[in-house]
Amino acid sequence: MHAHWGSPDQNGSEHVIDGIQYPMELHFVHYNKKKYSTFSGSIGQPGGIAVIAVLVQIGQNNVEFEKISTLLVAHRIKRDTDSGEDGKANGSGETFQLPTIITNIINGLEKLFDFRKLLPDSLDYFAYEGGLTTGNYEKCVQWIVLRNSITISKEQIDTLHGVSAANFRPLQPLLGETKLERNFR
């Protein structure tokens, strides 16, 4: 799972629906284990990666997302407590990398919460073939963008703002040959 958000005064979703860009977007990233033995082996390969994108708006507190934000705060407090004057963890010379922290938290959360509770009630979606939104932006992704959003509270997204600055890729135009599909009328 990845999360992409904007700054407090800027939306950070990497997709728009009906012209609306949202404050945040969750990505549930999957790779084809039948064709590729590792995630890194699937990058840049046809049929290698599928991403379910969930748009997030500000509204009610999200109980499942609260588990993520609580752990982020705990990691941030631990990082601040463990950092020496040189900004290194425990004075060891090792720096904290946010993507690693988030990955470790999320890997642990797989046992602590139900990912389905981070999906909207309706699973209507748009689908298209496109690229990754990080790294070299390889075109190897089957995107499934859910039509409806979920909510998190302002306090929950403020937690993310406190951990890291905006981390989204600006919107990219669909290429002329992009075939957009949907599962609803």
Distance between alpha carbon 41 and the CA centroid of its chain, in Å? 21
177 within some domain: no
Distance CA 34, CA 108 (A): 25
- Number of domains composing the chain: 1
- Show the domain range for 135: 2-171
184 within some domain: no
Full pLDDT tens readout for the chain, 185 residues: 889 999 887 899 999 999 999 999 999 999 999 999 998 899 988 889 999 999 999 999 999 999 888 777 776 655 444 444 434 444 444 444 555 656 666 666 666 778 889 999 999 999 999 988 888 888 889 999 999 999 999 999 998 888 888 889 999 887 777 888 999 99
158 within some domain: yes
CB 126 within 8 Å of CB 181: yes
> What is the pLDDT, as a whole number, of residue 104?
63
71 within some domain: yes
Closest CA relative to residue 153, chosen from 65, 55, 28: 65
Q: Give the pLDDT confidence of 144-177 residue by residue, as tens digits.
A: 999 999 999 999 999 888 888 888 999 988 777 7
176 within some domain: no
The CATH number linked to 115 is 3.10.200.10
Other beta carbons within 10 angstroms of residue 49's beta carbon come to: 21
CB 25 within 8 Å of CB 12: yes
179 within some domain: no
> What is the pLDDT, as a whole number, of residue 173?
84
CB 42 within 8 Å of CB 132: no
109 within some domain: yes
Residue by residue, DSSP assigns 58-74 as E-S--HHHHHHHHHHHH
182 within some domain: no
pTM score: 0.80
> What is the pLDDT, as a whole number, of residue 1?
82
The full 3-state SS of 10-45, as one line of letters, equals CCCCCCEECCEECCEEEEEEEECCCCCCCHHHHCCC
Token pair in block for residue 153: 């509270």
